[in-house]
Amino acid sequence: MIGLIGQSTPNCAVRCWRRDMKKFLFLLLICLNIEAENSENAVLTCNDPVTNFRWSELCKSGFNVSFMVDYFQGKYNDSSYRDNRLCHYLSLRLSLPKYEDSGKTKEEFYEDLDEEIYLGLINQNEGMSDYFLHSFYTPFKIFNPTVTFEAFAEFIKEDNQRIADSNYQDNVSYKSVKYNKIADILGKKCLTIIRHSYSEFILNNSKKSYNKQIKIRESFNTIKPAFSKMDIKGKVEGLDFEVWITKANAKKIQVSEHKELWTDLLTSWVNVQVMSPDYNEDYGHMDQVISQFCISVFNTPVCPFVDASKHEFNQKTWNDINKRIISATSETNGRVLGRPVIEYVKHAYCVSEFQTTRCFEGH
């Protein structure tokens, strides 16, 4: 033992052996924890000191970190959580200024720049930054369903500051690294960890003229759900990402047609209601709007039921419908075709989100 450890006294040797064994056991514990992350039955808890140490910023916020098991260095994603967070920060650092935020005229802003090429670069960067955001937020939300997006965004803001203050190299923090170097780091470290099929989509999309590109931010609500179905290769429901998003956007156009149908029917029956003796009275015109919509879409006067409680609530859609209808019903005692505003809002929300008039229980 003395010869192996290289100490002069037995007592010293024993103490050193114990110290080294503690280190060994600690490293072993970390290794076991890493293996547990790749197990389908593993559950990570911040009560575990190793987990708490590895994901301290998440544990400090009281989040459930069990999504680490499959969604980072697991069966859905090869990349590590740390690399994903760093690359999201770096892609945000590369964000190009936009004309709309500049306070300048188009001529002043673009000067000698080609507007189409510039907008294409913005779209490409947003495709990357949103990839890293969705790769984190989607599994995070599955395991933290009660955390609001506002609370998540606040965490991202604080965590990005942590990354900015962290050391890049030679006592230089990431926030001190210049733009060109950030681009270099992103190219070498981050492009390779984007799942292949999604990476191919971004590359192919950027090769098209801007007016033919899929606009990342305009497709935000379509792209976001894809990450809950994305496999380790970046495919969604077995389809290459580019094929999937193209089909999803085509379906979105159909949704737009459903909204137009709903609006046209509503306008027609509002005109009928105007001719009625009492505009606020319920003459069954809302029932006509609903039945005609259902017949046009489903060939039956009663639309199928889709359970909204099993889908993420779209607060923006709900608020937009409310804002529009409140101003429109300011002189009708808060009624639409003789029915309470809330009844109309629920129908309109169901049409917008699920292309049916029924999505709330008891409605």
pLDDT digits (tens, 9 = 90+) for 210-227: 999 999 988 887 888 899
pLDDT at residue 42, as a whole number: 52
Closest CA relative to residue 81, chosen from 221, 193, 206, 219:
193
Distance of alpha carbon 191 from alpha carbon 196, whole angstroms: 10
* Range 329-342 average pLDDT: 76
pTM for the full predicted model: 0.62
pLDDT at 271 over 90: no
Give the pLDDT score at 64. Answer: 94
Instruction: Identify any residues that bridge with 57 across adjacent strands, giving them in sequence order.
Output: none
329 pLDDT tier (thresholds 50, 70, 90): low
More confident residue, 325 or 319: 319
Mean pLDDT in residue range 288-293: 90
Residue 88 token pair: 């999201």
Average pLDDT, the chain: 83
pLDDT(55) > 60: yes
What's the mean pLDDT in 86-90? 96
pLDDT tens-place string over residues 89-139: 999 999 999 888 888 998 999 998 999 999 999 999 999 999 999 999 999
Distance CA 94, CA 246 (A): 27
Place of tokens 């450890």: 5
Share of the chain above pLDDT 90, in %: 51
26 pLDDT more than 90:
no
pLDDT band at 276 (very low <50, low <70, confident <90, very high): low
The total number of residues shown for the chain amounts to 363
The pLDDT tens digits of the residues spanning 228-249 come to 999 999 999 999 999 999 888 7
Q: What is the pLDDT of residue 252?
A: 64
Average pLDDT over residues 178-188: 92
Q: What CA–CA distance (Å, rounded) separates 76 from 108?
A: 46
Instruction: Note whether 30 and 50 are within 8 A (CB).
Output: yes
Q: Which residue has the higher pLDDT, 283 or 304?
A: 304
Mean pLDDT of the 17-24 span: 43
Residue 215 has what DSSP assignment? P
b/e map 277-291, b = 16+ CB within 10 Å: eebeeebebbebbbb
